[in-house]
Every structure is written in C-alpha cells, then in structure tokens.
Amino acid sequence: MDYFDYRENELWAEEIRVSDLARQFGTPLYVYSARTLRRHVNVFDEALAGLDHLTCFSVKANGNIHILRLLGSMGSGVDIVSGGELFRAIMAGIPPAKIVYSGVGKQDHEIREALAANILMFNVESVAELERISQIATEMGAVARISLRINPDVDPKTHPYISTGLKKNKFGLDMLEATGAYLMAKKLPAVSPIGMDCHIGSQLTQIDPFVETLEKLLAFIDRLKTSGIDIRYLDLGGGLGITYDEETPPQPADLGRVVAEAVRERGLTVILEPGRAIAGNAGILVTKVLYTKKTRAKNFIIVDAAMNDLVRPSLYGAYHHIGEVAPKKRKKLKVDVVGPICESSDFLAQDRLLPEVASGELLAIFSAGAYGFAMSSQYNARPRAAEVIVDAEQITLARRRETYGDLVALEG
Ligand code: LLP
C-alpha cells in the first residue's frame, strides 16, 4: 500500500503532482512518500505489538539521511553493514542502542567505530570475526554484545543472487560451528553473547521459509540454554517481499503472527531488519522519454534514466511496473524501455506493453524506493539523480542532483 495514485488523470505523490516535481527538480528523479514510509513502520510495529521488539531498518536499501531521520523519529533502529552506514545512521540521529551490525567482512576500523559508538549488537558471521572483535574490544576496554548469524540452510525460494541462508552461501555459521563459537564467546571476557541472528534472503514471497527458520533457531536456543548460554535477542533479519508485479508476499502481520506464536513466553526481544518492505513501494523513479525508436526487431523507448540509476532490471532481471505520469488513451505497443548507457544490459523493462508515448513525456518506474538510488553509480559519467521526499504538500530535496563538478571532485 502506498500513496502514489492517479487523480485528475495524473500521477500524484501524496498531495503533489509528479509532473510538478519533474519540472522543479528535473529528471531522472527519485520521489519518496513520507506517509508511505510511516505507514510501513507502523505496520511492522503493529505486527509485533505483543512482543518486546525492535524494527531495525536495513540501511542498505535506502541510506538517505532524511529517510533515516524520518524512520528514527518513529522509533526505528537500523541494521548496518559498514562503517559508512554507521556514519549515516549516527548522522541521522539513530540511537546506537538501536543499531545492529551485520556483514561477513567487518574491518578493524569499522569494528572499532561501532564499539566506540556502543551499538546494540554485532551480528557475527565467522569464528575469525568473533576472535577479531574480542581482540579489538579487549584493546579498547570494551565489551562487545554479539549475536551469531546462523545459516539455517533453508531455501528462501527467491533469486539466487539474493538468497543468503543456504549452506553454499557465504553468510553466517552452521549450527555445529555456531555451538562451538557460542561456547568460545562465553569464555571471552570482552564479548557478551546475547543474541541469535539470521537473514535467509530477500524478496521472499512465501512464509514457509521464515517458519522453518524460526523453528530451527528456537530449537537451537533451547539446546544452548542447557550449555548455560542465555539468548535474549532473536533477530530474524529482513527479507519480506513486496509486490512489484503480481507477487502476493506475506504481510508483516502474517510474519508477526507466526513469530508471536512461536516466541511467546520465552522472554525474547525480537528484532526484524526489513529494508525493501519499508522503502520499496515508498519510492518511484521519474524519467523523461528522450526518443522512440522502431527497428525491424523491436520497439524502443529511450529514457533519461538508465542502469546507473536503477540497476535491478539489469542485474536481477527484476520487474518494475512502469506507468505514464499523465496517461492518455493510446494504442499499446510491446516495447523495451532502455537508457542511454552503452550496454545492451541497460534496460528498465523488456517486452512490456506500454502506450505509444512521445518524446518529452514522463514515465514513472514504481517500487524503486529500495535498492534504487542506493545501488546507483556514475557509470558513463552520469551525475546521480536527485531525491525528493513528499510529505502531504511539503517537499524536501533530500539529495540534490549531482553536477559535472561532482563527477571529478575527488580527482584532484
Ligand atoms: N538484513 C541483512 C543482513 C541483509 O543482508 C539484508 C539484505 C536485509 C536485512 C534487508 O533485506 P530486505 O528486507 O530488504 O529484503 N539488491 C537486492 C537486495 C539485496 C539484499 C541484501 N541484503 C535487490 O535489489 O533486490
């Protein structure tokens, strides 16, 4: 559910016409809806209402500090995977006590920064990392609260590039290794093992993999208890899918129900790390048609956004719905929507039925709020797009459009 809709034959972002935003800020342009973001945060809170819980938005999905600030003001924490994301989170005023830190390759300086900030917890992904954290915490005279990230070997049934909980994936520890690591952690004076973590994949459209994971983790928590290890935080990661096309993913409330039933009366604090489910449908990418081109094989709509702005279609073959900003009744054609980049993988849609649009018209690429701007680049020396946040009638320029000067600013 989001607050982008068609009224008076035009696309609106809350109370603002998208065409006005494009006029004011140019294209390509990311437009986010604050109301949608708030709604999604509330939905997660309601889903876990009966439990001690913390929603830690996954910064990698959208790290804009205005967005982090908005989520933080509603009580959200964050899941980070780098020192840079820690920096963004702190800049946005997220309390360190609501920050969890995941990722297989934490560097010494990043561990030091997170310890200095006194974050809630490190989600540790290997024995080597555990040893490193212990060593650095000892040097700093600190105690690192940790979870171990468990790889439960559950198939999330999603795109292989975003599956993370299978034993062939690089993430986490299997339960056998984790048992040893927990026992080791218990003996390390600078480490306090208080949590268990997992994240099995992203864009999950079924509930079963979550249920299976939950069962495995709870049984593991029980086994650890007999070895004197008392797990107080259960972090189930992110991964809830959204509707890009016709998927019908489980809702946060469905996940909440399953979790509440399984976890009740265990005294655990439940952490979720949603990224896409909070930000995905809260953003669109607005682009302008530059040219249309018909070859003997295909029809192309060439737009001013490209794979550097939104890489998901090129990288995962992902579907993003595309609509006209000012719809007109016209014949539909099967087209490829492509950008100006010199690669055949530079497409935003392939073989899509779209009205016969003309150059100068605006298109909206939907569900672009997560892993859109966050994965953008300057490839082909294309300055990155601007980002705006609409909140009812209020517009905030959340990031100005990059300039040519920005392209070379770090090159001396
Ligand atoms: N927690 C951890 C440890 C993660 O690795 C991720 C995502 C999340 C939480 C958030 O997952 P979400 O709720 O957004 O599914 N670039 C890909 C998605 C990669 C996700 C990586 N990890 C895409 O555009 O589909």
- Contact between 274 and 252 under an 8 Å Cβ cutoff? The reply is yes
Answer yes or no: is the C-beta of 61 below 6 A from any ligand 1 atom.
yes
Q: Consult the annotation and say whether 261 binds a ligand.
A: no
Please report the atom of ligand 1 found closest to the CA of residue 311.
Answer: 24
Q: What is the mean pLDDT of the chain?
A: 96
Which tops the pLDDT comparison, 163 or 350?
Answer: 350
Q: Is 229 in the pocket of ligand 1 (CB under 6 A)?
A: no
Residue 98 near residue 125 (C-beta atoms within 8 A) = no
Q: Ligand 1: which atom is nearest the Cα of residue 103?
A: 3
Residue ranges per structural domain of the chain? 4-32+280-408, 34-276
Give the whole-angstrom CA distance, residue 185 versus residue 199. 21
- Which whole-number Å values give the CA distances from 308 to 23, 85, 119, 369, 381, in the listed order? 22, 21, 33, 15, 10
Predicted local confidence at residue 127, as pLDDT: 97
Residue 1 has pLDDT above 90, yes or no: no
49-50-53 Cα angle (round to 5): 65
pLDDT digits (tens, 9 = 90+) for 384-402: 999 999 999 999 999 999 9
For residue 319, say whether it is annotated as part of any ligand binding site: no
Strands, DSSP E only, in 177-260? Answer: 191-197, 233-235
Residue keyed to tokens 């492509």: 338
Residue 197 banded pLDDT, cuts 50, 70, 90: very high
Q: Residue 162 — very low, low, confident or very high, per pLDDT cuts 50/70/90?
A: confident
Number of H helices, E strands in the chain: 12, 20
pLDDT of residue 164 exceeding 80, the answer is: no
- Decide yes or no: CATH 3.30.365.10 for domain 34-276: no
Q: What is the pLDDT of residue 294?
A: 95
For residues 71-98, give the mean pLDDT.
98
Cα torsion 15, 18, 19, 21: sign: positive
pLDDT in the model for residue 155: 85
Mean pLDDT confidence for 188-204: 96
| Among 202, 242, 376, residue to substitute to test ligand 1 (most atoms within 8 Å of Cβ) | 202
Please tell me the predicted confidence (pLDDT) of residue 403: 98
Task: State the Cα–Cα distance between residues 252 and 102, nearest whole angstrom.
Answer: 22
Please give the number of the atom of ligand 1 that sits closest to the Cα of 81. Answer: 3
Q: Is 274 annotated as a binding residue?
A: yes
b/e map of 221-237 (b: 16 or more CB within 10 Å)? beebeeeebebbbbbbb
Q: Are 204 and 241 in contact (CB under 8 A)?
A: yes
45-55: pLDDT as tens digits: 999 998 999 99
Nearest CA to ligand 1 atom 5: 199
343 marked as part of a ligand binding site: yes
* 90 Cα–ligand 1 center, Å: 21
- What superfamily would CATH give domain 4-32+280-408? Lyase, Ornithine Decarboxylase; Chain A, domain 1 (2.40.37.10)
- Cα of 164 vs centre of ligand 1, distance in Å, is 9
The structure tokens listed for 243 are 């509707």
172 in Cβ contact with 151 (< 8 Å): yes
pLDDT the model gives residue 73: 98
Is the per-residue pLDDT at 94 higher than 80? yes
Q: Are strands 269-272 and 53-58 parallel, antiparallel or unpaired?
A: parallel
Q: State yes or no: is 198 an active-site residue.
A: no
Query: If you write DSSP's letter for every residue of 241-255 in order, what string do you get?
Result: ---SSS--PPPHHHH
Distance 99 CA to ligand 1 centre (A): 16
Model pLDDT, residue 65: 98
Cβ-Cβ contacts under 8 Å for 307 (sequence gap 6 or more): 313, 314, 339, 341, 343, 345, 346, 347, 348, 379
pLDDT at 95 over 80: yes
The predicted-structure confidence for 291-350, as pLDDT tens digits, reads as follows: 999 999 999 999 999 999 999 999 999 999 999 999 999 999 999 999 999 999 999 999
